[in-house]
Amino acid sequence: MVEGLVHGTPPNGRLNGGWGSLAKGLLYCCGFQPDRVLNGHFAKATRFSKTSGKSFLTKKCQGDILYICDPCEHSIVGTCNSGGDDDMGIFRGVYKGFAKSKTRDLLIERRIKFEHQARCPYCGSRVWSMTLAKLIPRKSALKKLGSVDGKLEYLVCVNGHLQGTCWLTRLSSDEKDDGMAEFEEDEQAGTTSTRTSSTGEEICEAPISL
């Protein structure tokens, strides 16, 4: 993924937002939510997918390249109807060549104003609301995230960093056990790689030891 983002950068080798912001975006969950503050943390594992990114692009923007990570789960106390906890999914991503993307063109063409009370947690730049711009393909994005609630929001900054939230579907205990077993196998393997799946999906995976 990093190689793909670097390809075509200016001769000085500087990415939009700088290398520091890219590194932070790869390794750090910012805990972003528009109406409350959640604790940020380093991710135990990072998995970005260009194919998954297609699910977050409208038809007009399918020519753009967007890498999206799997959502990080944050338990929110007392939010479900029964008075129990709900899981908030926090996800992040990055566009390749955002300055020349169709997404940016549409944001400017539709004269979308910057958000007043939000900044990019990775580079500190001004951000646009993709909801306000009507650039969220809700059906495909919610399906990819594993969310059925419909409450989905994400912001994009002028450097192409994306951060967003959704309510996640609760898994049964059996599904959780299966997921943890699969994750533990990956941890034991200790691999860090960018690979292509059997379906041609480009994936960046990086288990992290803190």
Task: For 43-93, write each residue's pLDDT tens digit.
Answer: 777 789 999 999 999 999 999 999 999 988 887 765 554 445 678 888 999
Q: How far apart are the first and last CA of the chain?
A: 22
Give residue-wise pLDDT tens across range 126-175. Answer: 999 999 999 999 999 999 998 876 678 999 999 999 999 888 876 555 54
Dist CA 155 CA 104 (whole Å): 12
- 97-113 pLDDT, tens digit per residue, is 999 999 999 999 999 99
- 3-class DSSP state of 128: strand
Residue 55 — left, alpha, or beta (φ > 0 → left; ψ -120 to 50 → alpha)? alpha
Q: pTM, whole model, 2 decimals?
A: 0.73
Is the confidence at residue 15, as pLDDT, over 90?
Answer: no
Indicate left, alpha or beta for 126 from its phi (over 0: left) and psi (-120 to 50: alpha): beta
